[in-house]
Structure 1
C-alpha cells in the first residue's frame, strides 16, 4: 500500500469529503479532538500559519493533522518551530502504521511548507501511553517540561529538522 502526506488544499473534492468523515475512537477525542474542530481551525479563519495535511493510502485519506507556525504557535512552543496538532487516524484504519507514516513524512512536509523552521514540536498528555511510545520511538525528544493542559499534564516533545 502506497502512502503519502499531502496538503489539504491539494485534495480533490472526493478526498476532501473523505477527510471530513475521519473519526477516532470516543476515548481518543480528549487528546486529538474531532475532524469538525480540526477543519474549523483550518478553514474558518485561514492563516498562512496553519496548514492541514492528509495521509493518503492508495489515494484514500486515512489520517489528518494540523501544523502551526508563527504567528499561530501555542504558548509553549519555540518561535523557530512548527507544532503538530489534531493528529487523527480513522478508527477503521488504526493499528496499520498510518500514525507512524504521518510522523515519518512530516519533516519533509513541514520544511516544504515553511523552509525557515528549525524543529517540530508537540504536546502530549502524560497518560497517552500509546502516543508517547510512538513519538519517542520515532526520535522525538521529551524536553522534560510538563504543564497543565486541557485534560491533564502535558509533555513537550521536539524533533530537530535538517534543511532540504
Structure 2
C-alpha cells in the first residue's frame, strides 16, 4: 500500500467527499475533534496561516491534520514553528501505521509549504498515552512542562526540522 501526505487543496472532489466521512472513535473526540470541525477551521475563514493535509492510502484519504503558522499560532508556540492540530486517523484504519506515516511525512510537507519553519510543535493531553508514545518514538522532544488544558494536563512537544 502506498501512502502520501498531500495538501487538502490538491484533493479531487471525490477524495474531499471521502475525507468528509472520516470518523474517529468517540473517546478520541476530546483530543482531536471531528473532521467537520477540522474542515470548518480550514475552509470557513481561509488563512495563509492554516494548512490542511490528508494522508492518502492508495489514493483514498485515511487521515487528516491541520498545521498552523502566524498569525494563527497558539500563544505557547514559537514564532518560527508550525503547530500540529486535529490529527485524525479514520477509526476503521487505526492500528495500521497511518498516524506514524503522517508524522514521518510531516517534515517534508512543512518544508514544501513553509520553508522558513524551523520546528514543529504540538500540545498533547498527558493522559493520551498512545499519542505521547508515538510522538516520542518518532523523535519529538517533551519540553518538560505540563499545563492545565481543556481536558486535563497537556504536554508541549517539539520536533526540530533539519
**TM-score of the aligned structures, taking structure 1 as reference length:** 0.98
Q: Tell me the residue number matched to 2:115.
A: 115
The Cα offsets for residues 65-111 of structure 1, whole Å up to 9 and x where unpaired, read as 00001110001111110000000000000000000000000000011
Unaligned runs of 5+ residues in structure 1 are none
Q: 2:85 matched to 1:81?
A: no
Q: Tell me the residue number matched to 1:147.
A: 147
> Which consecutive aligned stretches of 4+ in structure 1 deviate over 2 angstroms post-superposition?
none
Cα RMSD over matched residues?
0.4
Q: Tell me the residue number matched to 1:102.
A: 102
Q: Tell me the residue number matched to 1:138.
A: 138
Unaligned runs of 5+ residues in structure 2 are none
**TM-score of the aligned structures, taking structure 2 as reference length:** 0.99
Q: Tell me the residue number matched to 2:7.
A: 7
Distance 2:78 2:144 in 1: 14
Equivalent position SS for 2:74: coil
Count of residue correspondences: 162
